[in-house]
Each structure stands twice: as C-alpha cells, then as structure tokens.
Structure 1
Amino acid sequence: MPFWDNARYACIVLVVLGHAIQRLTYDSSIAMALYLAVYAFHMPAFAIISGYFSKAAPPTRKQMSRVITDILVPYVIFELLWTLTKWLVEGQANPNITQPSWTLWFLLALGIFRLVLPYLALLRWPLVWSLLISIGAGYLPNVDSTFSLSRTLGFLPFFVLGWWVREHDLVNRLRLIDFRPWWVRAVALAIFAVEGFIAWNWVDLWKSVDLDTWFFYNDSYSDLGAHVWWSGGIRLLLIVLGVVLSVAFFALIPRGEHWWTKFGQYTMYVYLLHSFVLYPFRETGILRNAEPTWLWLPAVIVLSVAIAVVLATRPVRWVFRPLIEPRARWLFSDTQLVETSRRDDPTGSRRPREGAKRQANSPDPT
C-alpha cells in the first residue's frame, strides 16, 4: 500500500531535517520553532508505523535470528564506524557499545520493542501499561541512556499504539486511509498551524524550559529540572501531543503512488547514513551564526530532502547493503535461519516485490 511507504519516507525526511537544522537553533528563533514543531511528533510517528507492522505472537527462531541480523549486527557495525570516524576527525574516541552514538539509539529501541511486545500483549490494557512504564521511567534517575533504555521506555506507548491499531484493524474498519474528506485535511492543517504559532510565539519560553530536551525522552525529570511529583503529567501531555500531531500528519500523507514512494522502503539506509553526511556540518560550525536565516533555513531544508533522496537510491544501497543488511551467516549454528533474499527492515518497510500477493495475505511484519 503506497500510503505506508509515503508515510515512512515523510518521517525519514523529517528526521534528517531535524538533525540538519539543530545547529541553526542556537542563533535563530525561527529555526528553533521549526525544530520544536518537528520533534513534537516525527519520532512518535515513526514509532507508531514500526508498531503497526509488528507482531505480538511469540517469536519464531527465524524472527529471533532477524533481531540479530537486522538490529544487533548493524548496531555493532555502525558503533565501530562512529568510533573510527571520531578518532580520525577528532583525534580521540571513547569506544562504549553500551552508549549508542547519535541516531543508533533507535536501532536498540526497535529491538527492545520487539522483545517486550509479546509480554505486553498478554496483559489487559497494554496501552495503559506502556503509558505507566513510559511515565514512571522518568522518575528513575538510574534509567539512563545505557543501551538507549530511557528513550526506549519513553517512546514505548507510541510503538504499542501502532500495534494496537493494527491488532484491532482500526485502519480498515474505520476506513482511515480510504475515507479522507477535505475537512479532515483542513483540520490537520489547522492543527499544524496552531502548533507552529504556539512554537513560534512562545519560543523564548520553550527555550527557557528546554522543551526540546523533553521531546528526546532521554533524561529523568530531575535532570530536566522538574523536581515535583506531577512531572510525569508533563510527559503524559507530550505523549498526547505526539499522538494528536501524528494523526494529523498521517491525515496529510498522500495515498497514491509517487516517484518518491519507493524510497519509503529504504528508510533504514537514510536513517543510518545521514548522520555521517551531516557530521561535518555539525562539527565545523558552518551552521553557527548563519545569517540571514531566510536564506540559510530554506537551504538546509532543501539539503535535507536531497540527502534523504540520494541515500535511498540504488547505488547507495548497493554499496552499503553489506553494512545495513548483513547476512552474518557465520554467527549461526543453523545457517538456514539467515534469509538469502532481501528482507524487510526493522521499521516495517517491505522491500521484497516477489511474492507480493502472498505477503499481502499473510504479511511478515517486523
């Protein structure tokens, strides 16, 4: 269905955009407002999509092996690459596989999501439990970035929500994709207009309370300066905001197939590689004191889209497939567990075209 590929690609463009404009936010209020508007929902939407294409049934041996080949092995490979990059560029590196570098936290989060979902699905009200886990984790200072645990637990409700929507077949029952009259899109645009106005009009307030850091779901409430008992209510509001904006975002996603639709099948390539492209821009300071904003901000937006397009093209996939889709047959005692055909990636992207009819009737979501 083109809609999901369109949604995945739109999400990954926003991921690249958010990382690209981050340096501009120090000197530009407009860039900060855009940054806040994007971070309020882009990773929640990505987690919802990933959850939608996930199974809660006990994993088979092949599915267990795919956690290793699709998540753990690429994680180790790219952690080593980041260590080497920092050593070559900065002259120093601190190898620590327990502390994910930059964007790699989401790989571990996907692995943990897939491991805990079958247990949550056994319980009544799994959405409620995921909310309690997310909100409760913020009260515990020892739940930190080690193995990206803090962010994983923080974003857990979005992933579970995506699975819950698929489990109850709400998309088909409510015709959420097929039936989208003009007023639905109008409401979605109005929601984003209000979000943009709030982000811009009170941008100094949001800077003073470090709202952007709250959107990371990475720090405890005490580390964020919220030492009150009701700090969890702030996270709950941010989760509700993320869901509302994600729904509005999905309402605006085109349903038909476009020239860029196919790129939605290769989001993991863009996700893992774009940080290396942006690394020089972040570290050289070229985007600090970049004036005028009206010129630099649009330029960075265009650059972000270009990066997301190029990194999803066939030549890039051909070069980097051994790193992003490693087979690692030598790791397994039973080599039959390792698929020889192209696999879906952990975000739920369906790459294989062969056997499409069979997959449509009996999908193999990740």
Structure 2
Amino acid sequence: MTDTASVPTKPRVRVPFWDNARFACIVLVVMGHAIQRQTSDSDNALTLYLFIYAFHMPAFAIVSGYFSKADPPGARQMRRIITDFVLPYVIMQTIWSLVQWLVEGVSVFNPTEPHWTLWFLLALAIFRMVLPYLALLRWPLMWAVVASVTVGFFANVDSTFSLSRAIGILPFFVLGWRLRSWRLADRWQVLGTGSVWGVRALAIAVLGGWLATVLTNIHAFREFDLRFWFFYDDSYKDLGEPVWWAGLLRLGLIVLAVLLSAAFFTLIPRRHTFFTAFGQATMYVYLLHSFVLYPIRESGVLKDDHSSAVWLLTMVFASLAISIVLSSPWVRKVFRPLVEPKPRWLFARPDERPPAPSRTDPTGARRR
C-alpha cells in the first residue's frame, strides 16, 4: 500500500489572468469612490460613475466566488472566517470610528453599521458561511437570484451587518463559484488568438453600447437616481419604487451586470503584465484606499469648479496611482497586522496542522 502522506503535492500554478482581473477590479473600486463627490455637479462624472457601478462590484464578487469552496467547513476554515473577515472588520471599524471622532466629532461606535467600504468584508463572510448550504440545493444560482430580487421588497432587511447588500449581490458570488465547475475560464485561457480578438471586439461593442446608453440618458438616470440601484442595498420602498416591477428592474440589472462583467473579463490580459503582481494585494487596496480618499472627499475640493473634466481625469489617474502604491510590498509589510492578523492567542485550541505554504485571501489573491 502506498503511503499517501509521502506523496508530494503538486504545486499550484499561478494564473496571471486572475491577478490581472483582481487588480483591474480594485482600480475600478477606487475610481468609483474617488469620483463620487463630482457626480452631483458633473454629468461626465456621473456617466463614468454609472458605467463603473453597473458591474464593478459584481465583477469583484464573481472573482471572489471563483476561489471559494462549498465544502463543509473544518476547524481551519472556521478560524479563517474569524481571521480573514471578523478581526479585520473589527480593527478597521474601530479605526474609522476613531477617525470620525477626531475629525468630525462623531463619538458613536456601532459595529453593526459598517463604515464606507467595510460592507464588502462582511458580505464576503456571509457568502462563505451560506455557500455550503446553497451548494446542497438544486439550482443554487437560481435561488441566489430569487433571494436578491425578493429581499428588495422587505424594508426591514437593511444595512445592519451589510445583510441587504450581501443578499443583493449574492448571485454574482455564486456565479463565480459555479464558473469554476463549468471550466469556462480554463477554456478561455487556451482559446486561440484569433478567436480571442473576435470575442474582445464583441466585448468592446457591449461596453461601448452601455456607455452610449448612459450618455444618451444621463439626465433621466440622474432624475431616477439610478446609481442607488447599483448599490443593491436599499429596499424598493426606500428607492422610491414600492411597486411589483421593481423586482424585474433588479433582475434586469443583475443580467446587465453579468453581461458587462463578462465583457470586462474578456478584455483582461491573459499573460503576465507589469501589474500582475499588484493583483495579489487587492484586500490591502480595498481596506486602505478609503483613508487616502477620505480627506479629499470631505474637504469639498471636488465640488463646483473642481468637478470639471480636467479634475475628473485627475481623479481617474490618481485612483490608478493610489492602487499601485497600496499594492506595493512595503505597504503590505507595514499594514499586515491590520489586514492579515494572526491572533493565535485567541483560539482555545491551536491549529495542529502544519501551515500551508500559501492560501487565498477573501478576494482570491494568494497569501504566503
């Protein structure tokens, strides 16, 4: 009988496409937050904002779902819920509460209401916990879509612990998980160059069509407050549309997000690029960029004349620069205790298994 313990495990090969995709997604996240203050005074800013928000968080959720497992969690996986989600959330929530107290005089610490970007951290934790149960059902993706559409009819399901938003974008996470078993990404990796460029031409047409739609209807979209629908957060009543067709509108936005995300992913380089390594630090960028943007957003500098096209482009390029800097090794080294805490003292039983050489973080990036 062969001793399986002595058989070496096959090393996992990094796929540059996914690191490229993660970095592209996080740049869009930073960009959307950077230009938000300009949207009230600039149609150009609102156009770019709506273009991005239609798919950027769904795309991020798809990537996170792709690297998630639906197996019943063991002790190590349950510890990771605490170390990867709960502790970073508590740490960042505390820091944000302290910042608001020092800057704005707000002295309320409420861990049930996540500050700014922290909602996604809680959403990922919820996804990881419910996925093993969803995987037991037939048609898990269908049930996730039903939950997302239905939750909007219940005004009592709100942003407490990010529950409404987590349920709202759950279909994208489940879709990402299902994509792994469908092996679509694997087929895309080996597709011939000629076919790839044909698909990319179609993707450009799809994204261009959405951009043209936003440009053409920007005043109607502003009046309708379409941007709030892309948050998947408020109930239909809070959005001002407590009617039966509001669920159909959310369903349409889900389909639109999937279509735009697919087009977006096909434009991502499949080979190693200069920004591939940056895709391994997406959680650092996600959790830290808000501290960089906070003084800019709150100062009011992006209002009125500073909402011009020149300032819009300035913030777009600044977003790219912020993403690159926060992806750097020295930032990861300095802020690792906050983003990747390892509180072995917290657990009643130590992990007896040898540490893995690498594992994925909440966004699917490889940790060492």
C-alpha contact 1:273 1:311 (8 A) present in aligned 2:
yes
Which residue of 2 is the match for residue 314 of structure 1? 329
Q: Between the two proteins, what is the percent identity of the paired residues?
A: 58
C-alpha contact 2:20 2:279 (8 A) present in aligned 1:
yes
Choose the corresponding residue for 2:363, options 347, 357, 362: 347
Which residue of 1 is the match for residue 99 of structure 2? 85
- Using a 3 Å threshold, how does the CA distance of structure 1 residues 100 and 277 change in structure 2: closer, same or farther? same
Which amino acid is the alignment partner of residue 265 of structure 1?
Q
Which amino acid is the alignment partner of residue 176 of structure 1?
W
Cα separation, 2, equivalents of 1:267 and 1:148: 20
Choose the corresponding residue for 2:240, options 209, 213, 225: 225
- The range that moved more, 339-348 or 194-203, is 339-348
* Deviation sequence 1:57-106 (CA, Å, 0-9, x none): 10111011001001000000000000000011112232100000000000
How do 1:302-341 residues align onto structure 2 when only pairs under 5 Å count? Answer: 302-336=317-351, 339=355
* Deviation sequence 1:305-348 (CA, Å, 0-9, x none): 00000001011111100000000111101222695866421111
C-alpha contact 1:65 1:337 (8 A) present in aligned 2:
no
Could you list the structure 1 runs, at least 4 aligned residues long, displaced by more than 6 angstroms after superposition: none
Choose the corresponding residue for 1:120, options 123, 134, 138: 134
* Deviation sequence 1:274-298 (CA, Å, 0-9, x none): 0000000111101011347221111
Deviation at 1:170, TM superposition (A): 2.9
Deviation at 1:176, TM superposition (A): 1.9
Give the 3-state SS of the residue equivalent to 1:176 in structure 2. Answer: helix
Give the 3-state SS of the residue equivalent to 2:188 in structure 1. Answer: coil
C-alpha contact 1:62 1:337 (8 A) present in aligned 2:
no
Which residue of 2 is the match for residue 177 of structure 1? 189
Which amino acid is the alignment partner of residue 178 of structure 1?
V
Q: Which runs of 5+ in 2 are unaligned?
A: 1-14
Q: Which runs of 5+ in 1 are unaligned?
A: 353-366
Cα separation, 1, equivalents of 2:149 and 2:301: 38
Cα separation, 2, equivalents of 1:350 and 1:4: 10
Which amino acid is the alignment partner of residue 242 of structure 2?
H
* Deviation sequence 1:241-265 (CA, Å, 0-9, x none): 0000000000100011112101101
C-alpha contact 1:24 1:290 (8 A) present in aligned 2:
no
Choose the corresponding residue for 1:160, options 174, 182, 186: 174
Give the 3-state SS of the residue equivalent to 1:226 in structure 2. Answer: coil
CA RMSD between the two structures: 1.3
Which residue of 1 is the match for residue 5 of structure 2? none
Which amino acid is the alignment partner of residue 206 of structure 2?
I
Which amino acid is the alignment partner of residue 16 of structure 2?
P
Deviation at 1:109, TM superposition (A): 0.4
Which residue of 2 is the match for residue 99 of structure 1? 113
Which amino acid is the alignment partner of residue 188 of structure 2?
L
Which residue of 2 is the match for residue 299 of structure 1? 314
C-alpha contact 2:45 2:307 (8 A) present in aligned 1:
no
Residue 142 in structure 1 maps to residue 190 in structure 2: no
Which residue of 1 is the match for residue 37 of structure 2? 23
Which residue of 2 is the match for residue 37 of structure 1? 51
Choose the corresponding residue for 2:280, options 249, 265, 270: 265
Give the 3-state SS of the residue equivalent to 2:69 in structure 1. Answer: coil
Cα separation, 1, equivalents of 2:320 and 2:352: 37
Cα separation, 1, equivalents of 2:362 and 2:352: 17
Residue correspondences, number:
350
Give the 3-state SS of the residue equivalent to 2:127 in structure 1. Answer: helix
Cα separation, 2, equivalents of 1:193 and 1:79: 38
Which amino acid is the alignment partner of residue 127 of structure 2?
F
Which amino acid is the alignment partner of residue 207 of structure 2?
F
Which amino acid is the alignment partner of residue 348 of structure 1?
G
